[in-house]
Chains A and B, each alone.
Chain A
Amino acid sequence: MKTSTSIQRKLMRMIALTSGAALMLTCASYFVYEFFTFRQAMISQLTILGEAISTNSTAALAFQNSDDAAETLTALKSDKHIVAACLYDKEGTLFAKYPSALPNSIFPRVPQEESFHFENTHLAGFQNVIQNGKRLGTLYLRSDIGAMYERFQLYAVIAILVIGFSFLLSYLLSKRLQQRISKPILALAKTARDISKNDDYSVRVVKLDDDEVGVLTEAINQMLTRIEEQTEEILSLNQGLEQKIIDRTSELQAANKELESFSYSVSHDLRAPLRSIHSYINILSEEYGEKLDNEARRLIAIVTSNSKKMGQLIDDLLAFSRLGRRELLRTPLNMNSLVSSVWEDQIRLQERSNVKLSSADLPNAVGDSAAITQVWTNLISNALKYSRHKECSMVDIGHFQKEDMTVYFVRDNGAGFDMKYYDKLFGVFQRLHSAKEFEGTGVGLAIVQRIVTRHGGTVWAESKVNEGTTFYFSLQNKSVSD
Chain B
Amino acid sequence: MAILRVIHLQIIAILLCGLNCAQGQKQAAPEYQVKAVFLFNFAQFVEWPPSAFSETNDIIIGVLGENPFGNFLGETVRGEEVNGHPLKVQHYAKIEEIKACHILFINLTEALEIKHAITNLKPKHTLTVSDVDGFTAQGGMIRFFNEDKKTRMRINLPATKDAELKISSKLLRLAEIVSSKKQQ
B-binding residues in A (CB < 8 A): 56, 58-60, 62-65, 68, 90-91, 131-132, 134-135
Q: Which residues of B contact A131 (CB under 8 A)?
A: 44-45
The residue of chain B having its C-beta at the shortest distance from the C-beta of A62 within the complex is B41
| Majority secondary structure, B binding face | helix
Q: How far is the CA of A63 from the CA of B37 in the complex (A)?
A: 8
Q: Which residues of B contact A135 (CB under 8 A)?
A: 3
B173 at the binding interface (Cβ < 8 Å):
yes
Knowing that A62-B41, A62-B44, A91-B7 touch, tell me 16 more A-B residue pairs with CB under 8 angstroms: A56-B170, A59-B45, A59-B174, A60-B174, A62-B45, A63-B41, A63-B153, A63-B174, A64-B34, A64-B150, A68-B173, A68-B174, A90-B3, A132-B44, A132-B82, A134-B44
Residue of A58, A64, A90, A132 near B170 (CB, 8 A) is A58
Is A64 touching B151 in the complex (CB atoms < 8 A)? yes
Is B171 touching A63 in the complex (CB atoms < 8 A)? yes
Is B38 touching A132 in the complex (CB atoms < 8 A)? no
Between A and B, 28 residue pairs with Cβ closer than 8 Å are A56-B170, A58-B170, A59-B45, A59-B168, A59-B171, A59-B174, A60-B170, A60-B174, A62-B38, A62-B41, A62-B45, A63-B41, A63-B171, A63-B174, A64-B34, A64-B150, A64-B151, A65-B150, A65-B174, A68-B173, A91-B7, A131-B44, A131-B45, A132-B44, A132-B82, A132-B83, A134-B3, A135-B3
Q: Which residues of B contact A59 (CB under 8 A)?
A: 45, 168, 170-171, 173-174
Nearest chain B CB to A72's CB is how many angstroms away? 9
The residue of chain B having its C-beta at the shortest distance from the C-beta of A71 within the complex is B173
Q: Which residues of A contact B168 (CB under 8 A)?
A: 59
Q: How far is the CA of A135 from the CA of B153 in the complex (A)?
A: 22
Q: How many A-B residue pairs have CB under 8 A?
A: 37
Q: Which residues of A contact B82 (CB under 8 A)?
A: 132
Q: Which residues of A contact B170 (CB under 8 A)?
A: 56, 58-60
Q: How far is the CA of A340 from the CA of B48 in the complex (A)?
A: 163
Q: How far is the CA of A134 from the CA of B4 in the complex (A)?
A: 11
A-binding residues in B (CB < 8 A): 3, 7, 34, 38, 41, 44-45, 82-83, 150-151, 153, 168, 170-171, 173-174
Nearest chain B CB to A163's CB is how many angstroms away? 53
Q: How far is the CA of A56 from the CA of B173 in the complex (A)?
A: 10
Nearest chain A CB to B136's CB is how many angstroms away? 17
The 9 lowest CB-CB distance pairs between A and B, nearest first, are A59-B170, A62-B41, A65-B174, A59-B171, A132-B44, A63-B174, A131-B44, A68-B174, A132-B82
The residue of chain A having its C-beta at the shortest distance from the C-beta of B151 within the complex is A64
Q: How far is the CA of A282 from the CA of B153 in the complex (A)?
A: 189
Q: Which residues of A contact B171 (CB under 8 A)?
A: 59, 63
Q: Which residues of A contact B173 (CB under 8 A)?
A: 59, 68
Q: How far is the CA of A56 from the CA of B7 in the complex (A)?
A: 23
Q: Which residues of A contact B44 (CB under 8 A)?
A: 62, 131-132, 134
Q: How far is the CA of A255 from the CA of B8 in the complex (A)?
A: 148
The residue of chain A having its C-beta at the shortest distance from the C-beta of B10 within the complex is A91
Identify which of B7, B168, B170, B171 gathers the most chain A CB atoms within 10 Å of its CB. B170
Q: Which residues of A contact B151 (CB under 8 A)?
A: 64
Nearest chain A CB to B25's CB is how many angstroms away? 25
Nearest chain A CB to B131's CB is how many angstroms away? 14
Q: Which residues of B contact A134 (CB under 8 A)?
A: 3, 44
Q: Which residues of B contact A68 (CB under 8 A)?
A: 173-174
Q: How far is the CA of A90 from the CA of B44 in the complex (A)?
A: 16
The residue of chain A having its C-beta at the shortest distance from the C-beta of B34 within the complex is A64
Q: How far is the CA of A90 from the CA of B7 in the complex (A)?
A: 9
Nearest chain B CB to A398's CB is how many angstroms away? 137
Identify which of A60, A63, A68 gathers the most chain B CB atoms within 10 Å of its CB. A63
Q: How far is the CA of A64 from the CA of B149 in the complex (A)?
A: 12
Q: Which residues of B contact A91 (CB under 8 A)?
A: 7
Q: Which residues of A contact B45 (CB under 8 A)?
A: 59, 62, 131
Nearest chain B CB to A226's CB is how many angstroms away? 101
Q: How far is the CA of A59 from the CA of B150 in the complex (A)?
A: 15
Q: How far is the CA of A59 from the CA of B174 in the complex (A)?
A: 8
Nearest chain A CB to B3's CB is how many angstroms away? 6
The residue of chain A having its C-beta at the shortest distance from the C-beta of B170 within the complex is A59
Q: How far is the CA of A92 from the CA of B174 in the complex (A)?
A: 22
Nearest chain A CB to B23's CB is how many angstroms away? 24
The residue of chain B having its C-beta at the shortest distance from the C-beta of A60 within the complex is B174
Q: Which residues of A contact B150 (CB under 8 A)?
A: 64-65
The residue of chain B having its C-beta at the shortest distance from the C-beta of A68 within the complex is B174
The residue of chain A having its C-beta at the shortest distance from the C-beta of B38 within the complex is A63
Q: Which residues of A contact B3 (CB under 8 A)?
A: 90, 134-135
Q: How far is the CA of A91 from the CA of B45 in the complex (A)?
A: 20
The residue of chain A having its C-beta at the shortest distance from the C-beta of B169 within the complex is A59
Q: Which residues of B contact A65 (CB under 8 A)?
A: 150, 174
Q: How far is the CA of A68 from the CA of B175 in the complex (A)?
A: 10
Q: How far is the CA of A135 from the CA of B44 in the complex (A)?
A: 12
Q: How far is the CA of A59 from the CA of B151 in the complex (A)?
A: 14
Q: Which residues of B contact A58 (CB under 8 A)?
A: 170
Nearest chain B CB to A255's CB is how many angstroms away? 141
Q: Which residues of B contact A64 (CB under 8 A)?
A: 34, 150-151
The residue of chain B having its C-beta at the shortest distance from the C-beta of A57 within the complex is B170
The residue of chain A having its C-beta at the shortest distance from the C-beta of B6 within the complex is A90
Q: How far is the CA of A68 from the CA of B171 in the complex (A)?
A: 11
Q: How far is the CA of A210 from the CA of B52 in the complex (A)?
A: 94
Q: Which residues of B contact A90 (CB under 8 A)?
A: 3, 7
Nearest chain A CB to B36's CB is how many angstroms away? 13
Q: How far is the CA of A60 from the CA of B153 in the complex (A)?
A: 12
Q: How far is the CA of A135 from the CA of B173 in the complex (A)?
A: 20
Q: How far is the CA of A91 from the CA of B174 in the complex (A)?
A: 21
Q: How far is the CA of A65 from the CA of B82 in the complex (A)?
A: 22
The residue of chain A having its C-beta at the shortest distance from the C-beta of B41 within the complex is A62
Nearest chain B CB to A88's CB is how many angstroms away? 13
